[in-house]
Structure 1
Amino acid sequence: MGRRKPGTYPYDYTPGDDRRFVDSGVGGTLRVLHGPGRGMGMTEGVVCRVEVLDGDGALLDEAEAGTLGKEHRLRGTVPGDRVEVTVSAHHESDAESELTTRTVVLTGDLADVVRFGVGPGWDQVAGADAGELPRGPASPTPQLWGAGVRLRGARPG
């Protein structure tokens, strides 16, 4: 399997990345998604914070809008671990955040994908990330924005 250009639609990983992941012993990966927009990394106007806690409530990882442009390995995890992921986000013109928390079980199988998030445009962001909707040239607005996560190697807990 040859290496393809990073950032290829709909996922931002390559077959080489998958091979390296399988050998790493890590339970899953996380990518923060924002939009809608062509690159799904559109952070213009979107304020977002993501926290990942292990089963004991210890912080495994945290990110803010724009800090995880690529998939990020959830270090310190193994397949079978339960983690709690919290997404808190809002459009910069609105001070009150929307919040969602989900518990997922890490499987170590990158074909297992869980997406969730907040905002009136979240369905568009998730659909574009999954390849179900085209990525348009739109930018986030106070009426149409979304922020969330894609967890690979995870299933709902």
Structure 2
Amino acid sequence: MGRRRKPGKYPYDYTDGDDRRFADSGVGGTLRVLHGPGRGMGVPEGVVCQVEVRATDGDVLDVSEAGKFGKEHRLHATAPGDRVEVTVAARYAGDDAAVPMLNELSATQEVVLTGDLDDVVRFGVGPAWEEVLAIDTGDLRPDAAPTACRWGAGARIRGARPTGQE
């Protein structure tokens, strides 16, 4: 039986070993889909979300969806200095049939990959995006599941800065 990997420190899902392996990989950054609010934000509980990363020439570099249990992964085919466009598209599709649902919301952010995991860009959509953001940064504990009027979805890109701040 294989050894079980030691979990990362809340609110992050990576370890110091992951950071060391990333530094040697030559990849420009990492991506994680954020959605919730909810415990750990790993199970979407009604939030449907997709994050797409495109190179400046329009090529799709990565597509991720909610429900990947908070997986943070490398943006392969990138290097420090690359500019990429990240688009978040999300909606609430839960069981709250009595409450009218919002149509799909989307937001796009252009970033420059730095390769320095201390540089972090977070952005998203939804009526409770600020709450999801606060949970991800560790400033707020999750206390309830998403609802039609209280949900958010977005992306965390480590190793990136917004364009204009490079």
Into which bin does the TM-score normalised by the smaller protein fall? over 0.9
TM-score when normalising by structure 2: 0.88
Partner in structure 2 of residue 152 of structure 1: 158
Q: Structure 1 vs Structure 2: percent identity of aligned residues?
A: 67
Structure 1 residues without counterparts, runs of 5 or longer:
none
2:6 corresponds to: 5
Q: CA deviation at 1:87?
A: 0.3
Aligned positions of 1:11-90 closer than 5 A: 11-67=12-68, 69-90=70-91
What SS does structure 1 have at the residue aligned with 2:132? Answer: helix
Q: Normalized against structure 1, the TM-score is what? A: 0.92
Q: Which of residues 136, 143, 148 is equivalent to 2:149?
A: 143
Equivalenced residue count is 153
Structure 1 residue 144, shift from structure 2 partner: 0.3
Structure-2 separation of matches of 1:153 and 1:17: 13
SS of residue paired to 2:40: coil
1:37-95 per-residue CA deviation (whole Å, 9 max, x = no partner) reads 11122301001111100011100000122136311100000000000000000101536
Q: Does the Cα contact within 8 Å between 1:29 and 1:73 map onto a contact in 2?
A: yes
CA distance in 2, matches of 1:70, 1:64: 10
| Residue number among 136, 147, 151 corresponding to 1:129 in the alignment | 136
Verify: 1:115 aligned to 2:122, yes or no.
yes
Tell me the distance in 1 between the aligned counterparts of 2:71 and 2:152.
Answer: 18
Mapped contact 2:91–2:103 kept (Cα < 8 A)? yes
Amino acid at match of 2:158: R
| Stretches of 4+ aligned residues off by more than 2 angstroms | none
> What amino acid does structure 2 have at the position aligned with 1:112?
D
Q: List per-residue Cα deviations over 1:86-134 (Å, max 9, x = no partner).
A: 0000101536200100000000000000000000111011111111112
Give the partner amino acid of 2:154.
G
Which string of whole-angstrom CA distances, capped at 9 and with x for unpartnered residues, describes residues 1-46 of structure 1?
A: xxx9324212111000000000000000000011101112230100
* RMSD after superposition: 1.4
One-letter code of the match for 2:103?
Answer: E
Asked whether the 8 Å contact 1:31–1:68 carries over to 2, the reply is: no
